[in-house]
């Protein structure tokens, strides 16, 4: 028998190679000799029997695995597939799986052999064929066998079912469109009841993947998954001997079932929900039991189930007892000797901190987390500890947490310093009890880690100081003292230059900070600074001439110096010349007018938190948001609607209803669930999530209550007792209602309406055919609103507080479901009494059909194929119109993404055009949509073409989108 034909032979070959081949050249020579021998055998006149073919094909496979190219033997491997011997067929399939390219000319022959094996009664041959399909995974194989595999999956033997499920999963991941379940859905779901645990494990993996795209089709799996999980959790280690891993029954299946349940909201059926809660409690109880084995495999399996259980509890966020127990369990891991467990505990507690039920329980571990921040050896664990401190921060512990983070910042790893700086800046601004503490904190931040303080941070402190009269004097005094340090960071010089230039007169009465002293202090830093800082200081000097005439001669001497007037930098030279001329020729009145104090900055969204979210990535939304558990929080600088340039699905500003009067009265505690939008709405990323759990889309869907099925409306919200106002009491929308609605077509957050009395803000999120909308009503006056009654026409809504104090806000939450396509948005009516006078207004709720647009990626070939299928005249809507805004490609791209479609690259032959695709998700049906936008920059015109499977939708989407350009 040839030494390389069997496992023993291959091992002997390896030993021979290492013993004889002393160099790479010797090995290549030996391999080439062997290849020549095999090639002569295949081309010889004598026909080879099955065993010989297997032997030589196996040699080729082994040589390939050694790193050498193989360019023959493929046909012989295909011939092995027709053998009736398992070993020969196995080697043939193995060779094909490893060496045959999906574009090979032999694919048709291979497919025929696979088809024969799938049709056979031999389960071993069927499994080999299924494994080959999964390993190759090409589209051609998917097209050939995708329709047959579901039949095998539900009707084969146990071992075949398991292979079929995994094979189908592989094909679905490679080409989802090739695996239409249809009639097989119910039978696949019922595999969760199969007696064979291997089949159940494979079926759970398949269903978890399928249900993410079609959750409604597989929602019956919830009760079966709970039933199966209950049986596993309640079983003893001896009950499932074949699937017990170190005294833990079926740990992999348990984890998969828990992940499957996270794809759905809590079960509606009380019995199923009760059984699931019992399972979760059992897992938490078992975590408290002493281990049955000291081996690490036992603790790993046990902890894997525990952490997945905690993830499900966090996902549901509806069981206070379980959330608190989960928090306590994680608290025990914070001091565990295993680093990975400490890391996972900190990471999970970050999410728990955003829940109103468990936030207080998380706060009890603050000392342990602070200790971890100081003493952990692993930088990733320290980073998670900083994240948790940030997440658990509220008004009660803000000073302690900010102080500890500042202390840690002095020795923090360079990789995370910038992130720590951003977090400290955000917390100091958000939870500042007085502005002097905020100013001290930011100046300390610049002193400790000036290199990591971005422009966004020191810009923000300047905005706040400028807008708040009560802190300007303190800020000037503090920054003057900070500048006296021998080593002063350049960012401190920038802040000092601006504040002293604006408010230095407030401390000029003290001889220790007289105008000449202030100027000398700033000018001593001048030559050490960059060009940008020098330019700022020159502007400060000219401000000093206006504020302190006694410094005029000294400052003019500085401006007249040759180093300024003949400076190599054009910006500095121009400023010096202009400022010198201005101070020489302008009268005192003109100078005072030109150099008057800067007006208050427009209240806009804070860029600090947006920067942090960009740094943390799309998944940071839930970790950064605490809106559900800190309703009293207010950004100390308020906010308004962002500028029109932030069109990339822009968010509303910080403290959406932050009042522009300074400082606003304290608002009473909002109802449960109302929250400050500081964290959420600063984000300029569409990924920002409103604190809905660890997995944004799944957690979002899990928390929505199902609307009342009997409602006749296409859009429903919160099936709760309706407010008193009826349709007959609601007047027509205000004249600008359409214009206000149009602003929200490509965005979900912002200020919907504002006048001198009332501000109405909107924050919304949509997934598939479901949506959640927060309406914030802010009283801008100092007088209480009486009989306050907001009502959404023909949609049942929950009541809000009937009285809104001056300077306060109330929140209304709508859970929305799109039952079918619609053209007209619901009406929002707001009524109240102000000073005894009734007030009312009616608006259009910013819910348009494109809010339920799910982006869809597709290749160019698929796009044009689908485009041709939607070629009926009634399926297309086209509009040619003149541009109403500057034609900027990036802005256009951002608007199309905000509209909801996926932008497809390299599809349109003209790279200037935009092509998109998506699906309108409704409960009744799905409407596919393709769009093409053709800009003509020379003519300042657009041509917009939409094709959908439903005529009214095409026209309506075309009208909505055209108005955005």
240-298 tens-digit pLDDT: 778 888 888 989 999 999 999 999 889 988 999 999 999 999 999 988 888 888 898 99
Q: What angle do CA 863, 865, 868 make, to 5 degrees?
A: 105
Over residues 114-132, the mean pLDDT reads 90
* pLDDT for residue 516: 93
pLDDT tens-place string over residues 841-873: 899 888 998 888 888 888 888 888 888 888 788
* pLDDT for residue 221: 92
* pLDDT for residue 660: 32
CA distance 374 to 141: 56
**Helix axis angle, 414-430 relative to 607-616, nearest 10°?**
140
pLDDT tens-place string over residues 411-464: 888 888 888 898 999 998 888 878 889 999 999 999 988 888 888 888 888 888
pLDDT range class, residue 91, cuts 50, 70, 90: very high
- What are the strands of the beta sheet with 827-834, ordered from one edge? 785-792, 827-834, 837-844
Over residues 190-206, the mean pLDDT reads 90
pLDDT tens-place string over residues 285-305: 988 888 888 898 999 999 999
The radius of gyration of the chain's CA atoms, rounded to the nearest angstrom, is: 34
**Which residue intervals of the chain bear CATH 1.25.10.10?**
374-594
Torsions phi, psi of 801, nearest 5? -60, 135
Q: What angle do CA 798, 799, 803 make, to 5 degrees?
A: 155
* Residues 692-718 as b or e (16 or more Cβ within 10 Å = b): bbbbbebbbbbbbeebeeebebbbbbb
Contact (CB, 8 A) for 261 and 312: yes
Checking if the pLDDT of 708 tops 60, the result is: no
CA distance 80 to 50: 7
Residue 55 labelled as part of a binding site: yes
- The first and second tokens of residue 313, run together, are 């509890």
Contact (CB, 8 A) for 390 and 424: no
* pLDDT for residue 675: 32
- The first and second tokens of residue 755, run together, are 């006048």
Over residues 1-10, the mean pLDDT reads 46
Which range of 104-108, 479-483, 732-736, 817-821 scores highest in mean pLDDT? It is 479-483
Residue 868 labelled as part of a binding site: no
DSSP string, 160-173: HHHHHHHHHHHHHH
Helices (H), 617-668: 621-624
Checking if the pLDDT of 748 tops 60, the result is: yes
3-state percent breakdown (helix, strand, coil) of the chain, nearest 5: 55, 10, 35
Nearest to 955 by CA among 883, 849, 852: 849
What CA–CA distances, in Å, run from 78 to 6, 54, 432?
20, 11, 74
pLDDT tens-place string over residues 51-70: 888 898 999 999 898 888 88
Residue 54 labelled as part of a binding site: no
- Fold of the domain built from segment(s) 849-963: TATA-Binding Protein (3.30.310)
Residue 390 labelled as part of a binding site: no
Contact (CB, 8 A) for 215 and 181: no
pLDDT tens-place string over residues 498-518: 999 999 999 998 889 999 999
- The first and second tokens of residue 606, run together, are 């804070």
Of the listed ranges 33-47, 465-479, 615-629, 705-719, the least confidently predicted one is 705-719
* pLDDT for residue 611: 63
* pLDDT for residue 622: 40
Please report the sign of the dihedral spanned by the C-alpha atoms of residue 523, residue 529, residue 531, residue 533. negative
CATH code for the domain defined by 735-844: 2.60.40.1230
CA distance 475 to 472: 5
pLDDT tens-place string over residues 385-408: 999 999 999 888 899 999 999 998
Over residues 14-36, the mean pLDDT reads 75
CA distance 551 to 543: 10
* pLDDT for residue 367: 92
Residue with tokens 């009067």: 661
Checking if the pLDDT of 753 tops 60, the result is: yes
Contact (CB, 8 A) for 857 and 926: no
**Which residue intervals of the chain bear CATH 2.60.40.1230?**
735-844
* pLDDT for residue 949: 83
**CA torsion angle for 613, 616, 618, 620 (degrees, to 10)?**
-80
CA distance 345 to 498: 44
Residue 46 labelled as part of a binding site: no
Residue length of the chain: 965
Checking if the pLDDT of 13 tops 60, the result is: no
Query: Can you name the residues that pair with 715 across neighbouring β-strands?
Result: 818
Torsions phi, psi of 19, nearest 5? -85, -40
**Which residue intervals of the chain bear CATH 3.30.310.10?**
849-963
DSSP string, 909-935: SSTTSEEEEEEEE-SS-EEEEEEEEEE
Over residues 149-153, the mean pLDDT reads 87
Residue with tokens 């007289």: 514
pLDDT range class, residue 810, cuts 50, 70, 90: confident
Question: How many Å separate Cα 389 from the centre of its chain?
Answer: 21
Torsions phi, psi of 963, nearest 5? -70, -15
Q: Which strand (E) or helix (H) includes residue 877? A: strand 876-882
Contact (CB, 8 A) for 679 and 749: no
DSSP string, 647-666: -SS----SSTT--SSSSPPP
Residue 847 labelled as part of a binding site: no
Contact (CB, 8 A) for 681 and 763: yes
- Fold of the domain built from segment(s) 374-594: 1.25.10
Over residues 73-89, the mean pLDDT reads 89
pLDDT range class, residue 963, cuts 50, 70, 90: confident
| DSSP character at residue 433 | S
DSSP string, 306-340: HHHHHHHHHHH---HHHHHHHHHHHHHHTT-S-HH
Please report the sign of the dihedral spanned by the C-alpha atoms of residue 514, residue 519, residue 520, residue 521. positive
Number of H helices, E strands in the chain: 41, 16
CA distance 395 to 391: 12
Q: Which strand (E) or helix (H) includes residue 777? A: strand 770-779
Please tell me the number of Cα atoms within 13 Å of 699 on its side-chain side. 23
Residues of the chain with pLDDT > 70, as a percent, come to 84
* pLDDT for residue 696: 38
**Helix axis angle, 251-261 relative to 296-316, nearest 10°?**
10
Tell me how crowded residue 484 is: count the other CB atoms within 10 A of its CB: 12
Residue 56 labelled as part of a binding site: yes
* pLDDT for residue 656: 28
């Amino acid at each position: 028998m040839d030494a390389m034909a069997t496992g023993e032979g291959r091992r002997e070959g390896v030993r021979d190679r290492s013993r004889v081949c002393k160099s790479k050249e010797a090995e290549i020579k030996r391999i080439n000799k062997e290849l020549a021998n095999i090639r002569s055998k295949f081309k010889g006149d004598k026909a080879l029997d099955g065993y010989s073919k297997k032997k030589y094909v196996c040699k080729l496979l082994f040589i390939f695995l050694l790193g050498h190219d193989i360019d023959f033997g493929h046909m012989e491997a295909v011939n092995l597939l027709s053998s009736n011997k398992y070993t020969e067929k196995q080697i043939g399939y193995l060779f094909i799986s490893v060496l045959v390219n999906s574009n090979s000319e032999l694919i048709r022959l291979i497919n025929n052999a696979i088809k024969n094996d799938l049709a056979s009664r031999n389960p071993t041959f069927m499994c080999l064929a299924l494994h080959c399909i999964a390993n190759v995974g090409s589209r051609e194989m998917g097209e050939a066998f995708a329709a047959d595999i579901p039949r095998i999956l539900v009707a084969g033997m146990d071992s075949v079912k398991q292979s079929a499920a995994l094979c189908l999963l592989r094909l679905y991941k490679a080409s989802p469109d090739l695996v239409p379940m249809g009639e097989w859905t119910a039978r696949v779901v019922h595999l969760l009841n199969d007696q064979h645990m291997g089949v159940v494990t494979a079926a759970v993996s398949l269903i978890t993947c399928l249900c993410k795209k079609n959750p409604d089709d597989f929602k019956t799996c919830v009760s079966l998954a709970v039933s199966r999980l209950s049986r596993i959790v309640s079983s003893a280690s001896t009950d499932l001997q074949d699937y017990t891993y170190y005294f833990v029954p079926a740990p992999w299946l348990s984890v998969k079932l828990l992940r499957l349940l996270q794809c759905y909201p809590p079960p509606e059926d009380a019995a199923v929900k009760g059984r699931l809660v019992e399972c979760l409690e059992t897992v938490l109880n078992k975590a408290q039991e002493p281990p049955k084995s000291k081996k690490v495999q036992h603790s790993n399996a046990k902890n894997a189930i525990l952490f997945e259980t905690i993830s499900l509890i966090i996902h549901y966020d509806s069981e206070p007892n379980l959330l608190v127990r989960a928090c306590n369990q994680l608290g025990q891991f914070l001091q565990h000797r295993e680093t990975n467990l400490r890391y996972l505990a900190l990471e999970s507690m970050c999410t728990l901190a955003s829940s109103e039920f468990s936030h207080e329980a998380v706060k009890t571990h603050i000392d342990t987390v602070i200790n971890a921040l100081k003493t952990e050896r692993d930088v990733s664990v320290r980073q998670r500890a900083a994240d948790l401190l940030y997440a658990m921060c509220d008004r009660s512990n803000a000073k302690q947490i900010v102080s500890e983070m500042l202390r840690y910042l002095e020795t923090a790893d360079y990789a995370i310093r910038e992130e720590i700086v951003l977090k400290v800046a955000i917390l100091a601004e958000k939870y500042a009890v007085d502005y002097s503490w905020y100013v001290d904190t930011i100046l300390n931040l610049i002193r400790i880690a000036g290199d990591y303080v971005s422009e966004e941070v020191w810009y923000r402190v300047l905005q706040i100081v400028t807008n708040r009269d009560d802190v300007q004097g303190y800020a000037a005094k503090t920054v003057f003292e900070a500048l006296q340090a021998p080593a002063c960071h350049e960012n401190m010089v920038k802040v000092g230059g601006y504040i002293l230039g604006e408010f230095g007169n407030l401390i000029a009465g003290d001889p220790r900070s007289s105008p000449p002293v202030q100027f000398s202090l700033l000018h001593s830093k001048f030559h050490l600074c960059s060009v940008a800082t020098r330019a700022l200081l020159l502007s400060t000097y000219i401000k000093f001439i206006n504020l302190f005439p006694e410094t005029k001669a000294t400052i003019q001497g500085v401006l007249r110096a040759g180093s300024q007037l003949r400076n190599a930098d054009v910006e500095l030279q121009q400023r010096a010349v202009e400022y010198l001329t201005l101070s020489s020729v302008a009268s005192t009145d003109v100078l005072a007018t030109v150099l008057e104090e800067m007006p208050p900055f427009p209240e806009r969204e804070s860029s600090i938190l947006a920067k942090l979210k960009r740094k943390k990535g799309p998944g940071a939304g839930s970790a950064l948001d605490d809106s559900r558990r800190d309703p009293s929080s207010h950004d100390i600088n308020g906010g308004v609607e962002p500028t029109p340039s932030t069109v990339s699905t822009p968010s509303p500003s910080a403290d959406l209803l932050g009042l522009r009067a300074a400082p606003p009265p304290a608002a009473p505690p909002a109802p449960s669930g109302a929250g400050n939008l500081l964290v959420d709405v600063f984000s300029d990323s569409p990924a920002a999530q409103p604190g809905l759990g660890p997995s944004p889309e799944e957690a979002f869907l899990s928390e929505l209550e199902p609307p009342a099925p009997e409602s006749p409306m296409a859009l429903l919200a919160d099936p709760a007792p309706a407010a008193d106002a009826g349709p007959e009491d609601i007047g027509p929308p205000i004249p600008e209602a359409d214009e206000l609605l149009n602003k929200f077509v490509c965005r979900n957050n912002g200020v919907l309406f504002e006048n001198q009395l009332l501000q109405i803000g909107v924050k919304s999120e949509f997934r598939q055919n479901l949506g959640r909308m927060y309406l914030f009503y802010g009283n801008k006056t100092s007088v209480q609103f009486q009989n306050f009654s907001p009502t959404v026409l023909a949609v049942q809504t929950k009541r809000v507080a009937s009285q809104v104090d001056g300077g306060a806000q109330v929140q209304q939450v709508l859970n929305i479901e799109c039952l079918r396509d619609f053209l007209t948005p619901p009406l929002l009516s707001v009524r109240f009494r102000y000073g005894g006078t009734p007030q009312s207004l009616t608006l259009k709720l910013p819910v348009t059909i494109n809010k339920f647009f799910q982006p869809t990626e597709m290749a160019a070939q698929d796009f044009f194929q689908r485009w041709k299928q939607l070629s009926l005249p009634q399926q297309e809507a086209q509009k040619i119109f003149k541009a109403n805004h500057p034609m900027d490609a990036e802005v256009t791209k951002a608007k199309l993404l905000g509209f909801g479609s996926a932008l497809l690259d390299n599809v349109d032959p003209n790279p200037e055009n935009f092509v998109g695709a998506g699906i309108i998700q409704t409960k009744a049906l799905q409407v596919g949509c393709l769009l093409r936008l053709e800009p003509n920059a020379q003519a300042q015109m657009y041509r917009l073409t939409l094709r959908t499977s439903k005529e009214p939708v095409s026209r309506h989407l075309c009208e909505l989108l055209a108005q955005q350009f």
